């Protein structure tokens, strides 16, 4: 009999803030520029320099703290975290190890242990090319990134699967994006997510030995990597072997896990309070600004949409993208009585698909105004045109920005909903198709399909299917 194991996962997420300058000096932030063009004595850690913290970085940090429903403590201090590495020019990183700017929050079902401010390391590229000594391998260091303001968010180990991590990670990303404080782009490195993974028997409250997973640059890879690691740990434990604390990297192309370095030789960071930086005591004004500047965040917005009838899936999609949510609300506002569920499905379904199909048009450049889309949706809801015709009209609207009613008229797509006219056609179809008519009368209801087809042909698809069915059945005596 084997034990059931559950996975316990905690995340450490690094968010690069989109301030104009670095955390402790006035160098501009950059991405993709030539190496070492954004450096100064401070971020190069020349002798004699001192750090001065970026006010906006603090403001952005407090906004993140507020968005994650954290307590924002009265006193913030900084600490030095000591370790030697070429991308760490002072050989210490200035961080907040003792009094971070935010503690005890939550987002969705996951509790936030804390969030703190720190500076990013520089970039080391292992070139493998020769250094000054013949035959030696070399690395090259670019200090442009060094000193970029980072917020590190640490969760409690409240996650239990790769899928859950992916979903929650996407919610976190959407939430922070809407604060306007970071690009949160995993490919560019403005959002990085590391996971601590362990397993334990179901029902146990102790934590198992954890491994750390790093360097995964999409939530889909993280999901797969975590699932692979959970499986690996289960296999180890079930064969009686211990899980060793180490740092791992998941290679998505092979599905393999590689050890990056053993955590056995854990760093002794020798933390001490940063003597060059005095405490930051957020003023009431700063705290109010942080809380009051929050837009409606994804979790709240999705809940609001679901309450008015939008499907869970569409609500989630809309809440993650402010642009789309605003578009959707524009559609609702343009037409009294429009069904939010239907509108949301059109916006997130047909409309978004059509934009993608037509050269991946960005929403901001779309030629279709919300009011126009609302009109189209109304035409379909009121059965003036069929759903299929609606899609045809939409294609034209996306391509040329045409008015839906004009397109319907031009292409002659009005549905025949006039019962009298339709009834005549139905009667005619029954007369012209005696065989299927007879089959239906004798009990084979499936044969009605051929009659429906005949009516549709006669009306060039402009009849409302439901109404056709009703009339056929009426005149066939069903």
Partner 1 sequence: MIEREQVLHVARLSRLRLSEEEIDTLTGELSSVLDHVDKLAEVDIEGVEPTSHVVPLENVLRDDEPRPSLDREVALSQAPDPHDGAFRVPSPQAEA
Partner 2 sequence: MTSLLTASGAETAARITAEEVSATEVLDFWLERVAGDRLNGYLWQADRESARSGVADSDGPLAGVPIAIKDIFCTEGVPTTAASKILGGYVPPYTATSVDHLRTAGMPMLGKTNMDEFAMGSSNENSAFGACLNPWDTSRVPGGSSGGSAAVVAGGLAPWSLGTDTGGSIRQPAGFCGIVGLKPTYGAISRFGMIAFASSLDQCGPLTRDVTDAALLLSALQGRDEMDSTSVGIEGGIETPTAERLDGLTFGVPRDLMREGIEAGVLARFEDTLLRIADLGGEIVDIELPHAEHAISAYYVLAPAEASTNLSRYDGVRYGLRASDEDLLSMYEVTREEGFGPEVKRRIMLGTYALSSGYYDAYYGRAQRVRTRIVEDFDTAFDRVDFVVTPTSPTVAFKLGEKTADPWSMYLSDIFTVPISLAGLPAISIPAGLAEPEGGGPDLPVGFQIAAPAFAEQKLLEASYALEQAIGFDGTLALEGGVE
Residues that bind partner 2 (CB under 8 A): 41, 44-53, 80, 82, 84, 86, 89-92, 131-133, 136, 141, 268, 270-272, 275-278
Q: Which of 14, 21, 367, 473 binds partner 1 (CB under 8 A)?
A: 21
3-state DSSP of 171-217: HHHHHHHCCCCCCCCCCCCCEEEEEEEEEEECCCCCCCCCEEEEEEC
Question: Which DSSP helix (H) or strand (E) runs through 414?
Answer: none
The residue within the footprint of partner 1, chosen from 5, 9, 11, 58 (CB under 8 A), is 58
411 backbone dihedrals φ, ψ, rounded to 5°: -90, 0
19 binds partner 1 (CB under 8 A): yes
User: Which tokens sit at 168?
Assistant: 């929650």
- Partner whose footprint covers residue 45, from partner 1, partner 2, none (CB < 5 to 8 Å by kind): partner 2
Rounded to whole angstroms, the Cα distance separating 280 from 401 reads 53
Nearer to partner 2, 51 or 404 (CB): 51
315 binds, options partner 1, partner 2, none, Cβ within 5 to 8 A by partner type: none
What's the closest the beta carbon of residue 56 comes to partner 1, in angstroms? 4
Least distance (Å) between residue 186 CB and partner 1: 24
Which residues in the 412-431 window bind partner 1 by CB under 8 A? none
**CB neighbour class for 304 (10 Å; exposed up to 12, middle 13-18, buried from 19):** middle
φ, ψ at 261 (rounded to 5°): -160, 150
Q: Closer to partner 2 at the Cβ: 19 or 182?
A: 19
Out of partner 2, partner 1, none, what residue 324 binds, judged by CB under 5 to 8 A for its kind, is none
Cross-strand partners of 21: 28
Residue 118 C-beta: closest distance to partner 1, Å: 16
Q: How far apart are CA 439 and CA 431, in angstroms?
A: 13
Report the C-alpha gap between 113 and 98 in whole angstroms.
13
Q: Does 187 bind partner 1 (CB under 8 A)?
A: no
> Footprint of partner 1 on residues 70-99 (CB under 8 A)?
77, 84, 86
Q: Give 325's Cβ-side CA count (13 Å radius).
A: 22
Angle at Cα 159 formed by Cα 155 and Cα 160, nearest 5°?
155
What does 180 interact with, of partner 1, partner 2, none (CB < 5 to 8 A by kind)?
A: none
Interacting residues with partner 1 between 219 and 258 (CB under 8 A): none
Closer of 98 and 452 to partner 1 (Cβ): 98
Q: What are phi and psi of 445, to 5 degrees?
A: -65, -25
What span, in angstroms and rounded, lies between the C-alpha atoms of 94 and 82? 9
Tallying the residues shown for the chain, one arrives at 478
- Contact between 342 and partner 1 by CB under 8 A: the answer reads no
Q: Which of 6, 12, 36, 215 binds partner 1 (CB under 8 A)?
A: 36
Distance of CA 469 to the CA centre of its chain: 43
Contacting range for partner 1; rule: CB under 8 A; set: 14-22, 198-206, 432-440, 443-451: 14-22
User: Binder to partner 1 among 270, 387, 441, 457 (CB under 8 A)?
Assistant: 270
268 binds partner 1 (CB under 8 A): yes
In sequence order, the 6+-apart residues with CB closer than 8 A to the CB of 420 are: none
Residue indicated by tokens 């343009």:
334
Site for partner 1 in 140-169 (CB under 8 A): 140-143
Binding site for partner 1 (CB under 8 A): 19-21, 25-28, 34-41, 44, 52-58, 77, 84, 86, 125-128, 131-133, 136-143, 268, 270, 273, 275, 277-281, 283
């Amino acid at each position: 009999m084997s034990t059931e194991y559950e996975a316990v996962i905690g995340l450490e997420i690094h968010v690069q803030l989109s301030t104009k300058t670095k955390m402790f000096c006035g160098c501009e932030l950059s991405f993709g520029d030539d190496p070492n063009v954004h450096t100064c004595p401070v971020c190069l850690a020349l002798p004699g320099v001192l750090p001065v913290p970026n006010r906006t970085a603090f403001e952005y940090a407090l906004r993140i703290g507020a968005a994650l429903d954290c307590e924002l403590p009265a006193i913030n201090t900084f600490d030095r975290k000591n370790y030697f590495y070429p991308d760490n020019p002072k050989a210490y990183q200035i961080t907040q190890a003792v009094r971070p700017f935010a503690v005890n929050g939550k987002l969705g079902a996951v509790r936030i242990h804390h969030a703190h401010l720190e500076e990013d390391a520089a970039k080391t590229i292992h070139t493998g090319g020769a250094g000054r000594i013949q035959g030696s391998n070399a690395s090259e260091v670019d200090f442009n990134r060094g000193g970029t303001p980072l917020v590190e968010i640490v969760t409690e180990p409240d996650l239990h699967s790769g899928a859950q991590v992916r979903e929650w990670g996407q919610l976190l990303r959407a939430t922070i994006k809407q604060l306007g404080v970071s690009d949160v782009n995993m490919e560019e490195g403005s959002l990085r997510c590391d996971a601590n993974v362990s397993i334990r028997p179901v029902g146990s409250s102790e934590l198992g030995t954890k491994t750390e997973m790093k360097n995964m640059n999409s939530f889909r890879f993280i999901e797969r990597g975590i699932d692979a690691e959970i499986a690996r740990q289960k296999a180890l434990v079930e064969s009686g072997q211990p899980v060793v604390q180490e740092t791992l990297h998941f290679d998505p192309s092979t599905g393999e896990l590689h050890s990056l370095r053993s955590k056995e030789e854990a760093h002794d960071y020798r933390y001490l309070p940063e003597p060059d930086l005095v405490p930051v005591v957020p003023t009431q004004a700063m705290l109010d600004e942080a809380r009051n500047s929050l837009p409606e965040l994804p979790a709240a917005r999705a809940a609001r949409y679901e309450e008015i009838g939008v499907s869970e899936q569409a609500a989630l999609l809309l809440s993650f993208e402010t642009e789309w949510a605003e578009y959707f609300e524009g559609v609702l506002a343009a037409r009294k009585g429009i069904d939010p569920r239907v509108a949301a499905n059109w916006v997130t379904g047909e409309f978004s698909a059509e934009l993608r199909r037509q050269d991946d048009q960005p929403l901001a450049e779309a030629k279709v105004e919300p009011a126009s889309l609302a009109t189209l949706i109304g035409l379909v809801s009121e059965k003036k045109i069929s759903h299929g015709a609606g899609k045809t009209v939409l294609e034209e609207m996306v391509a040329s920005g045409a008015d839906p009613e004009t397109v319907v008229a031009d292409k002659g797509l009005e549905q025949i909903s006039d019962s009298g006219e339709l009834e005549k056609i139905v009667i005619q179809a029954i007369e012209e198709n005696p065989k299927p008519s007879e089959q239906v009368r004798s009990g084979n209801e499936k044969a009605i399909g051929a009659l429906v087809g005949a009516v549709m042909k006669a009306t060039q698809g402009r009849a409302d299917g439901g109404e056709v069915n009703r009339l056929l059945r009426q005149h066939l005596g069903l």
